[in-house]
Amino acid sequence: MSRHAHKSLVFLFLRRMRMPLVILISAYAIATVGFTLIPGVDDQGNPWRMSFFQAFYVVSYTGSTIGFGEVPYPFSEGQRLWTMVSIYLTVIAWLFSIGSIVSLLQDPAYTRALRRARLAWKVRNLNQPFYLVCGYGDTGRMLTSALTDRGYQVIVVEHNQEKVEALEVVEFLAPVTAFCMNANLPDNLIEAGLRSRWCTGVIAVTGEGHVNLKIAISATLLNHKVAVYASADTRNDADNMRSFNTDCVVNPVEEYVRRLELAIDKPDLFRLYHWLNSGPGARLARSTPIPRGKWIVCGYGRVGRAVYQLLRERGMDVTVIHPDPEQAGCPHGSVIGRGTQAEELSAAGVEDAVGIVASTSDDADNLSILITARALNPDLFHVVLENGLSSHALFRAAEPDFLGQPSIVVAGTILSRISSGLVEPFIQQLLQLNNDTGRDALARFLRHQNDHPPEFSSGRISNRRSPALARALSAGQRITVGNLLADPSNWRARLHLEVVMIRKQKEDILFPPDDLPLEMGDRLLLAGRDGEAQRLQAVLENDQRLEYLLTGRDRQQGLFWQWLERRSSSHRSNG
């Protein structure tokens, strides 16, 4: 398709150039023939006529406005007359053809096609793994910068010209190619490299749910090797996507409510979960338990409704404030209004409430609700929904107790899943833990990390992935999880790395103890400081380093040094 588009561009150019070229050739032909026909006089005064060669020579330098003068002999008046005709003829023909080329090059349709062809060419020549990010809103922007930070190339498909232009001036650590086109059309996705063998993952995070659904379907059908991550607006869409094995589906509302639920039921586990699933810029949340009592929910949209149900399930007394309670199907006893006025909040009983949820779809309203409610009741617990990141500074300044940012929720959840296929089962099992185990797990991570969330990576014990370790294991050596985590440059110290899950053939072991022996075929999920996993990988591939890790001794390389080592150790045992 893309090659086709590129070819049609050449054809378009040639076809548009037909008329100018025909005119140019005709003008030259007429001028040349004219010169051969007009009689002249040579230097001896004999009648003389130009040959075609001489005529074409004269026309060539006249037509290009170089003008050498009258060669080979001074022209007769008749020849001069014809020279004038041929000058106007050829110069006008040139102007016409150059004009058509310029107008073609400035034609917006043509330049757009040219640009797309160039980008498509670039995509075809990619030879490194890349991610295809569809939609460059807040979520797409976070994902793009996080993926490029990890060294992946990214191709962005966004139909909004302004967003594409904004992207082009941002510096990324890896090349980012931006297509300005509609991700809804499968042909466009193919042009953006969906079928390329380097396409590692497709991330559908456009603002519209049905577009994301369509992208997920296209990606699954057109390239079955690619991993698909998508954000879904409704439960319906999400279930639909999961039904055809989309690798990761995030429904921001569901995810937001899940986090709030965790925060109510298992506050420490919530802190861990939120930290691991909010992108590389995440901070560890403060541990503030969510109070029980009377709550106010402002806005009864998708988020408001889900939060209302959650709070009711937890046995709390909830009052809803909505501009049109009947229309939105609010529960009985709801207050009419947006929640930004003190009267509305008082009517909902803000004075004796313990918490307020500002979940309208307008960020300014949400902030206003927060500030007004705080003035009326300073002890309120604030849960605020931040719809777009454009007013993030204001939200930070307002310091709500619990902030929901759909774009960060989506991007963070997708990012943690991208690191490894083991993250999803790990998170699922993590959520089953009780709060105390969650607190211990968090403490384990905090041994290595300061505020900054750990980076996930995974490894497999196999001949191909970890040859040195596989050789040692098949030689019958006992190697434990603790052995692996020793620092390769100082074996008494420990890497800033944690094995958080081992997938054995039959079972998954969450947070394996240090003395658990490793077996062939184990898959390890690691989490730790950035770059620490690479140091471990080097050990798994190199026999000497692995031996140092296990014994604390450097094995010498080369026969001479090994002989010397044997000699000194036998001396030591003798002496």
Partner 1 sequence: MNMSKVVFGFFVLLAVTLNFGFFIGDIDNPQHHDVYELFAALVVSLIATVLKFGERSQMGAILLASSLVVNLHLLAAAVVWAVAVHVMEVGLTPRVMASIVSLSGGALLANLVSLVLLTLDTAGLSRK
For partner 1, the binding residues (CB under 8 A) are: 8, 11-18, 21-22, 25-26, 29, 32-33, 36, 51-54
Where b means 16+ CB within 10 Å and e means fewer, 366-388 reads bbbbbebbbeebeebbbbbbbbe
Distance from C-alpha of 293 to C-alpha of 353, rounded to nearest angstrom: 7
> Smaller CB distance to partner 1: residue 36 or 76?
36
> Smaller CB distance to partner 1: residue 50 or 303?
50
> Smaller CB distance to partner 1: residue 97 or 483?
97
CB 224 within 8 A of CB 247: no
Burial (CB count within 10 angstroms: exposed 0-12, middle 13-18, buried 19+), residue 171: exposed
Query: C-beta of 7: minimal distance to partner 1 in Å?
Result: 9
Distance set, CA 108 to CA 1, 114, 320, 476 (Å):
21, 10, 52, 69
Collapsing DSSP to helix, strand or coil, 146 comes out as: helix
CB 91 within 8 A of CB 28: no
Query: C-beta of 80: minimal distance to partner 1 in Å?
Result: 23
> Smaller CB distance to partner 1: residue 10 or 336?
10
CB 339 within 8 A of CB 321: yes
> Smaller CB distance to partner 1: residue 21 or 342?
21
> Smaller CB distance to partner 1: residue 28 or 308?
28
> Smaller CB distance to partner 1: residue 113 or 166?
113
> Smaller CB distance to partner 1: residue 14 or 105?
14
> Smaller CB distance to partner 1: residue 54 or 184?
54
> Smaller CB distance to partner 1: residue 53 or 560?
53
Query: C-beta of 25: minimal distance to partner 1 in Å?
Result: 5
Query: C-beta of 64: minimal distance to partner 1 in Å?
Result: 18
Query: C-beta of 60: minimal distance to partner 1 in Å?
Result: 13
For tokens 């639920």, what's the residue? 261
CB 291 within 8 A of CB 354: yes
Query: C-beta of 22: minimal distance to partner 1 in Å?
Result: 5
DSSP assigned state of 485: T
> Smaller CB distance to partner 1: residue 97 or 407?
97
Distance set, CA 419 to CA 204, 388, 416, 537 (Å):
17, 26, 6, 15
Distance set, CA 504 to CA 471, 507, 508, 510 (Å):
19, 5, 6, 11
Distance from C-alpha of 357 to C-alpha of 337, rounded to nearest angstrom: 14
Query: C-beta of 90: minimal distance to partner 1 in Å?
Result: 14
Other CB atoms within a 10 A radius of the CB of residue 553 amount to 11
Query: C-beta of 280: minimal distance to partner 1 in Å?
Result: 49
> Smaller CB distance to partner 1: residue 32 or 251?
32
- 294-298: strand order across its sheet: 335-336, 317-322, 294-298, 355-358, 381-385, 402-404
Q: Which of 522, 524, 520 is nearest to 536 (CA)?
A: 524
What are the CB-based long-range contacts (under 8 Å, 24+) for 468-472? 468/539, 468/540, 468/541, 468/542, 468/543, 468/545, 468/546, 469/518, 469/539, 469/540, 469/546, 470/520, 471/543, 472/543, 472/546, 472/547, 472/550
Query: C-beta of 18: minimal distance to partner 1 in Å?
Result: 5
Tokens of 407: 């774009």
Give the relative orientation of helices 77-106 and 52-63 as an angle to the nearest 10 degrees: 50
Tokens of 217: 């379907």
Tokens of 379: 């002890």
**Distance, CA of 154 to chain centre:** 6
